[in-house]
Structure 1
């Protein structure tokens, strides 16, 4: 019997988690350990102390998604075979976003602790974000996630892959499934705000308010809906990238590794030798 740990970053009462819980029970025993409240965008942030309370499906933890995974994998008696995180109320795609996502952060925490994981995110091919979530049906992304999990376990995918990042359209139960890779495309829009009355910050007279807004798509700033007019940017993203899959309304599946891979280059080797030689020469001169 497969033991599955289910968590998320939208909170234990989220619609996406409930849909995944129902689907994953077809694969084995499912234990839920998820945040009490929404923890979107916290990445792999961890807490030193958390509180927990019992839930009919497991435990609600007053902490981050990574806290939930850390507690479950090291604090419960169950030997989990797999961690599933989601289904997130919106997509998680692109190399930059994957580093900040609480959904993916939970999966990465599991991978670093030696348990393979799948991060599942739902998107709407026209509206992009899935808000309000109770206006949407999370069954299609939950179903394809269960199919991907079952096939990945049978195929031994997790012998080489630490995390699968799955983005699935919420309104298309028959969407094509494609192997994808994260996009590196990212930029930032910085602006100074003169009118601060409606901003959620306290401002002193001698302070300026600077807005830092992600430009996740080339023709939008911040979190606006990127779907209108996206067709003109389709060719910017090659087939096989996560964003192209979203543009085309497909299910994207990316295989990720947890460790930060070290990179050695001739230039870096020369820098290390040069600095080491200079420091050695100074040390020798000081000994004379």
Structure 2
């Protein structure tokens, strides 16, 4: 059987050590073509641009664009057929449904899902330090080896017959970490500050009088790069077993099977609203015809 062809990208940029670790690990079981951003594109989600430029790279191409641009170009612009998109290793975790929704690492795989190509998004975390920052000080070998196993096993097991993508968070510092099937947990809030006076705290462009700061509270109680998952029972209880964030507390490999394009679900209440609306429209039409 021929090797699967993997399109490899990330959101930390083509020179990121997490990408290099994945490339080195995946070139054994797969044919790998890299199309990755020229520079850091963290947090851009599935943002697309309409014009871009590329530069040749020994592993493929560096693209002046987002991770979703890289996937769109790789699948639509190269004379190649890809079996799988792999995105990562991200320099930090992507856990919790809000973080997953805005992640450029995950956004690449969502773009792939719309283009009928399965994806694996791989993010690295440190069980004690949490964020792998600065990334040059960490070894991404463990998450890369997890990704290799998932690439080989998922394609042979037919996982992607029903799943569009896997969102993976793997520790860099726990060598025998078990793997858990998880779902993204909701833990998100927003903090709005009016009349911001500290100009250094405003990131909405040129400072102005009356600036408003809209701050994500993605990791509750966290400042900077500190670990938001202290190893205590209160934190464990906050995140139920089976969630991605609970797996991170335990130092495990979290694997969340997800759909990428929006998927319709049954909703009886919406059907009732539609029926009532249609009945009302029909009644109004009859009244108009009768001159009422």
TM-score (norm 2): 0.92
Distance 1:44 1:184 in 2: 20
Structure 1 stretches of 4+ moved >4 Å:
221-224
Which consecutive unaligned segments of at least 5 residues does structure 1 have?
none
Residue 142 of structure 2 is aligned with which of 140, 143, 162?
Answer: 140
Tell me, what secondary structure is at the counterpart of 2:44?
coil
1:265 maps onto 2:267 in alignment: yes
Residues 234-285 of structure 1 deviation map (CA, whole Å, 9 limit, x = unaligned): 0121221100000001001111112322233232122112222222222332
1:236 matched residue in structure 2 = 238
Residue 47 of structure 2 is aligned with which of 45, 58, 62?
Answer: 45
Residue 253 of structure 1 is aligned with which of 252, 255, 261?
Answer: 255
Distance 1:179 1:126 in 2: 22
Deviation of residue 108 (structure 1)? Answer: 1.0
Distance 1:221 1:273 in 2: 50
1:180 matched residue in structure 2 = 182
Conserved? CA contact 2:184–2:244, under 8 Å: yes
1:203 maps onto 2:228 in alignment: no
Conserved? CA contact 1:215–1:221, under 8 Å: no
1:160 matched residue in structure 2 = 162
1:216 maps onto 2:222 in alignment: no
Deviation of residue 57 (structure 1)? Answer: 0.4
Distance 1:88 1:193 in 2: 35
Residue 226 of structure 1 is aligned with which of 222, 225, 228?
Answer: 228
Deviation of residue 16 (structure 1)? Answer: 0.3
RMSD: 1.8
Which consecutive unaligned segments of at least 5 residues does structure 2 have?
none
Deviation of residue 221 (structure 1)? Answer: 6.8
Distance 2:268 2:174 in 1: 49
TM-score (norm 1): 0.93
2:124 matched residue in structure 1 = 122
Distance 1:222 1:274 in 2: 51
Deviation of residue 218 (structure 1)? Answer: 4.1
Cα pair distance change 1:132/1:222, threshold 3 Å: closer
**Number of aligned residues:** 286
2:73 matched residue in structure 1 = 71
Higher mean C-alpha displacement, 218-227 vs 239-248: 218-227
Higher mean C-alpha displacement, 95-104 vs 181-190: 181-190
Distance 2:278 2:222 in 1: 47
Cα pair distance change 1:210/1:228, threshold 3 Å: farther
Conserved? CA contact 1:89–1:133, under 8 Å: yes
Tell me, what secondary structure is at the counterpart of 1:131?
coil
Cα pair distance change 1:14/1:231, threshold 3 Å: farther
Residues 158-198 of structure 1 deviation map (CA, whole Å, 9 limit, x = unaligned): 11111011100111222111111111232222223532332
Tell me, what secondary structure is at the counterpart of 1:198?
helix
